[in-house]
Amino acid sequence: MTWAQIYYLLKPAIPWAIRVRARRLLANRLRKKFNDSWPVLPSAARPPEGWPGWPNGKRFAFIVTHDVEGARGLARCRKLAGLDKALGIRTAFNFVPEGEYQVPDLLRADLEHDGFEVGVHDLYHDGSLYRSSQHFEKQALRINQYLKMWGASGFRSGYMLHNLDWLHGLDILYDASTFDTDPFEPQPDRVGTIFPFWIQPNGSRGYVELPYTLPQDSTLFLVMKETTIDLWTKKLDWVASHGGMALVTVHPDYMSFGGRPNSSEYPVDLYERLLKYVITRYGDTCWYALPREVAAFAAQIKPRLDQHASCLNSPNSNDRRA
């Protein structure tokens, strides 16, 4: 049993305060170690082979995904969608099919009616998906049922665990379980690009990989206790300057929509500032897109990375590269 499997087995019994304190200690060490490759990895600016640029001459793409991890996050989805809609931004909500909550059909229908996207976020969100190939195949059957039932084309695993070869067993247009660089994740191996790219393992039909390229909100505001969006805007400006894909993952579970945030929350105003920053600074030079739209575009051209790092196929990787 790997350290990650042991952690996820014991996690429910470890108080949140202890878990986040341990993460902060580790993050402080990693931040110093990888200060030359996080949040910006210079080599990630190189476009994949066959990259033609964005549609309609757009400078870069901006994508927002909302991972809904628990019941608290589910209860905040409508408020968050209202904020996005008021600013004219369409986003994707990724729901856990068989986690601690049940996704109301009406919520999914309302989100889709308002132009939002619904994606599948793991099956249980308990870190068990990649326990073994047999275990993955068993859970993939259920995941595919939810993909079909929800009319979803995208998938993201819990904790950003990934095995890009195994994912050909899912009926997906795209996966979004990787990152250009992020040494703070349980499986910290990077894809090293700020562009979407094509994966077609073992002669399968293939799918698009959409790595997130802006730091996760939980990393910035809960683990590192940042009080500004400076790291977000620094990375976003760098991605825009290189014509890449600025994909950010934020969680309604951790957002405070009123009153003083508790220790596991941050003010939603920080997220709102990011949206306003993009709109004000870049206007219509940016493609404000849903992940399925970017994936559909990339699937037509099938851009490929020069090298497909073998570490991406090991969800139990202990590699601490940024």
Instruction: Give the CATH number for residue 238.
Output: 3.20.20.370
Confidence of residue 17 (pLDDT cuts 50, 70, 90): confident
Specify if 265 maps to a domain: yes
Specify if 314 maps to a domain: no
CB 205 within 8 A of CB 168: yes
In this predicted structure, the answer to whether residue 177 has a pLDDT above a threshold of 60 is yes
CB 99 within 8 A of CB 124: yes
Output the pLDDT for position 23. Answer: 85
Output the pLDDT for position 321. Answer: 30
Specify if 221 maps to a domain: yes
Q: What number of other Cβ atoms are within 10 A of residue 121's Cβ?
A: 27
Output the pLDDT for position 6. Answer: 60
Output the pLDDT for position 309. Answer: 45
Specify if 173 maps to a domain: yes
Q: Residue 178's domain spans which residues? A: 3-307
Count of structural domains within the chain: 1
**Through-space distance between the first and last CA atoms of the chain, rounded to whole angstroms:** 24
Specify if 257 maps to a domain: yes
Specify if 82 maps to a domain: yes
Specify if 320 maps to a domain: no
Output the pLDDT for position 307. Answer: 58
pTM: 0.92
Specify if 315 maps to a domain: no
Question: Where do the DSSP E strands lie in 123-251?
Answer: 154-156, 174-175, 197-199, 207-209, 245-250
Looking at per-residue pLDDT, the higher value among 315 and 5 belongs to 5
In this predicted structure, the answer to whether residue 4 has a pLDDT above a threshold of 90 is no
Give residue for tokens 């099919």: 97
